[in-house]
Amino acid sequence: MTLTLRPTWQLQNSSALRFPMLRMSCNLYPEQELTQRFWNNMPALWTTMATTTLSSRTDRLGLIPSHLTKNIKIIIALRPNTLYPTVAAKALATLDQLSGGRVVVHFIAGGSDAEQAKEGDFLTKDQRYGRLEEYIRILRRTWQSREPFDWEGTYFTFKNFHSDVVPANKNIPVSVGGSSDEAYRIGGSLADIFGLWGEPLKETKEQINRIYAEAEKAGRTDRPRIWVTFRPITAETDDLAWAKAHRTLDALTHNTANGVGKSSANAPAPQNVGSQRLLDIAKRGEVQDRALWYPTVTATNARGASTALVGSYQTVTDSILDYVELGADLISIRGYDNFNDAVEYGTHILPAVRKEIANKYSS
């Protein structure tokens, strides 16, 4: 579930519906006052700014989940061009302490030169991945080392850096996504979690094998956990779900034609490999495997995670279990009607998936 306009209300309902993770759309802003424990290390709170403007005094994203929930993990999406790694290391550690060790950081290297240039980032795609690799190594060293250290790399340089703020469990899980060779290499060698967009089972398995091969090549004794994202459209029956899917598609097509949202009718072909892969697969047919639906991909020019799972509660549950059987450790689901879809998922899909997995491993 993605936090949007009413974070307190959504967090309360997310907890009640037993969502295990919550993705925060936000920027990081340092705050000088938190507690005496973190005073000398410029603690930082994650303040909700990207989706809506909230008071930094009352709606602090770092405090809300730790106050209102006990188990939900907080996924922070972070672009390395937006914050120096030494500041990010302290800020993430602060939030991890506030939440009792529930933070995950998901890195976005940036798949579009044009989008990155809007924020003053003029590195090439390969350079952005090189910066990401350096960024992750700096964070890990900061969290795991108690001694000040110097860094003189290709993209970052600093002297005698040390942070007294450390994560609750001495480390924070790092997530990387993508479908390019560099994404596989960096994610396979360094990431705790590797994020994939929903592709057919065959292509997903090929990507998982590629990630595992990169982990082995890097000398790892473990493997990244695999995280696959979908946008389910579901209802009591398959027929009702398909009717809902076509209404959703009509709305997406209308919005694209009228320049509403992130996509427009004259948008250029995407530069990132992940979107290119989705569009290529869409040419093979609207429905792949059991229920993977691709018209939502073409309607949005594959802007982000856009593949849908369409069907009854049982059909969508079975589709998710197909990916679990394939090797997915984490499944991310979000709909097009955020809150109502979240209620539907939490009421019908999550309990069914949990029950099937429990039955499988108990037998």
Provide the phi-psi class of 273: left if phi over 0, else alpha when psi is between -120 and 50, else beta. Answer: alpha
Q: Does some domain include residue 154?
A: yes
Q: Does some domain include residue 193?
A: yes
Joined together, the tokens standing for residue 258 give 């009228």
CB atoms within 10 A of CB 326: 14
Q: Which domain holds residue 193?
A: 44-230+312-362
Structurally, how many domains does the chain consist of?
A: 1
Q: Does some domain include residue 169?
A: yes
Q: Does some domain include residue 27?
A: no
Predicted local confidence at residue 361, as pLDDT: 79
How many Å apart are CA 246 and CA 266, to the nearest integer? 22
| CATH number where 173 lies | 3.20.20.30
Which residues make Cβ contacts (< 8 Å) with residue 260, sequence separation at least 6? 254
Q: Does some domain include residue 39?
A: no
Q: How far is CA 69 from CA 34, 43, 55, 239, 348, in A?
A: 20, 21, 21, 36, 21
Predicted local confidence at residue 155, as pLDDT: 98
Which residues make Cβ contacts (< 8 Å) with residue 175, sequence separation at least 6? 75, 104, 105, 106, 107, 191, 192, 193, 194, 195, 227
Q: Does some domain include residue 323?
A: yes
pTM: 0.84
**363 residues of the chain, pLDDT tens digit each:** 443 334 444 545 555 555 555 554 444 433 333 333 333 333 333 332 222 222 233 334 445 555 667 788 889 999 999 999 999 999 999 999 999 999 999 999 998 888 899 999 999 999 999 999 999 999 999 999 999 999 999 999 999 999 999 999 999 999 999 999 999 999 999 999 999 999 999 999 999 999 999 999 999 999 999 999 999 999 999 999 999 999 999 999 998 888 776 665 567 889 999 999 999 999 999 999 999 999 999 999 998 899 999 999 999 999 999 999 999 999 999 999 988 999 999 999 999 999 999 998 776
Q: Does some domain include residue 166?
A: yes
Predicted local confidence at residue 56, as pLDDT: 32
Which residues make Cβ contacts (< 8 Å) with residue 43, sequence separation at least 6? 30, 31, 32, 34, 35, 90, 91, 94, 165
For residue 146, the one-letter residue type is: R
Q: Does some domain include residue 13?
A: no
Which residues make Cβ contacts (< 8 Å) with residue 180, sequence separation at least 6? 125, 129, 272, 273, 274
